[in-house]
Chain A
Amino acid sequence: MAKTYDYLFKLLLIGDSGVGKTSILFRFSEDAFNISFISTIGIDFKIRTIDLDGKKVKLQIWDTAGQERFRTITTAYYRGSMGIMLVYDVTNEKSFENIKNWIRNIEENASADVEKMILGNKCDLEAKRQVSKERGEQLAVEYQIKFIETSAKDSLNVESAFYTLARDIKAKMEKKQKEASNPAGARSGGHQLRNEPQRKPTSWLSRCSLL
């Protein structure tokens, strides 16, 4: 059967235990109606189809296991991921400090060109906040990663975060494709913005068709 979509992106939710990764993926609120069967088993991943500038994009979004620590997450875990949502809890200082450790772990184990985004979750809990929005923004600038505060509870900014990450992956892919069809230009770097960091050759681009 003919392929009915333009892009397929595998995305991972990463972060300390309790920051809200599962809640970001699992929208059900307990007071709606009784579907405890699904919530007791838990969701492994979701497939979502979105439209990005007229292209049909499939997102496969994976939750990661609650007890995983960055020390134990290795290459196999990240295999094939093109985007990673780094989640911390704005009411938990430690989870914010650990974002740096997660980033280091990603740099050591994931594909070099994996697209990243930082989410400061639980922004509905203003009274319990320990990490200001400004500190989140600073961290993001430091690592040149996009950042947004979210509330899985209120469904605030969650969808737009996934759109943003997907759009960045798509832009990167299209840039790579353009360079591939015009290798001379890419090598000379003539069309690159001056302060854009040099990136290693893509590896997931060639792999993504196998997913």
Chain B
Amino acid sequence: MSEVENNETPVQNEEKDYVEDGKNKFIVKCKFCGSRILDKKSAKYITIEKDLPLMQQDNNRKEGEIQNESVNEFYHVENMYTFENIGFTHTVANCKYLSCADCDAGPVGYYDNDTKHSYVAISRIVHA
């Protein structure tokens, strides 16, 4: 989808085959164990820019250093009880990271302590 730069978000959303009516068309599952994270059509598709720590940190990294990557496609979950299965870490810099409730893989997204909204990184889950 590298044709034309298009700032109209809705049009871009139409192009995603996993988005329908602005929501996740499919069930959202853990990449590693298949644990069900979100039911279909339960979260809004959004694009925002956010740095998330890598799921697999390099063992040879410097002590205390955290390797991040920029993620920009998320499912936005306003009420945490919308989740089917999910873990919330302790708070770090006013946010909690989301992890798989079954195998503890993560971060698969983050939770904003101020707004109490959660964001699931689409690149870190699978659809089913």
Contacts and interface: CB of A to CB of B under 8 A. Distances in A.
Contact of A37 (B32, B66, B81, B103): B66
Contacts of B83: 47, 49
A193 B97 CA distance: 47
Given A41-B97, A58-B81, A35 B105 contact: yes
Contacts of A5: 81
Question: What band does the interface of chain A fall in when counting residues whose beta carbon is under 8 Å from B?
Answer: 20 to 34
Contact of B39 (A4, A26, A34): A4
Given A44-B96, A47-B101, A58-B81, A37 B87 contact: no
Contacts of B39: 4
A162 to B, nearest CB: 12
A46 B103 CA distance: 12
Question: What band does the interface of chain B fall in when counting residues whose beta carbon is under 8 Å from A?
Answer: 35 or more
Contact of B105 (A4, A38, A46, A48): A38
B101 A48 contact: yes
Nearest to B85: A48
Interface string A1-40: 1001100100000000000000000111000111111110
Interface in B70-88: 78-88
A146 to B, nearest CB: 23
Interface in B19-74: 32, 36, 39, 42, 53-57, 59, 66
A38 B90 contact: no
A42 B107 CA distance: 12
A32 B66 CA distance: 21
A47 B101 CA distance: 7
B102 A37 contact: no
B107 A37 contact: yes
Contacts of B80: 47
A180 interface: no
A48 B83 CA distance: 8
A45 B81 contact: no
A145 interface: no
B85 to A, nearest CB: 5
Interface of B: 32, 36, 39, 42, 53-57, 59, 66, 78-92, 96-97, 99, 101-107
20 contacts: A28-B105, A33-B32, A34-B57, A35-B106, A37-B54, A37-B97, A38-B99, A38-B105, A39-B104, A41-B89, A42-B89, A42-B90, A43-B89, A43-B90, A46-B86, A46-B87, A47-B83, A47-B87, A49-B36, A211-B81
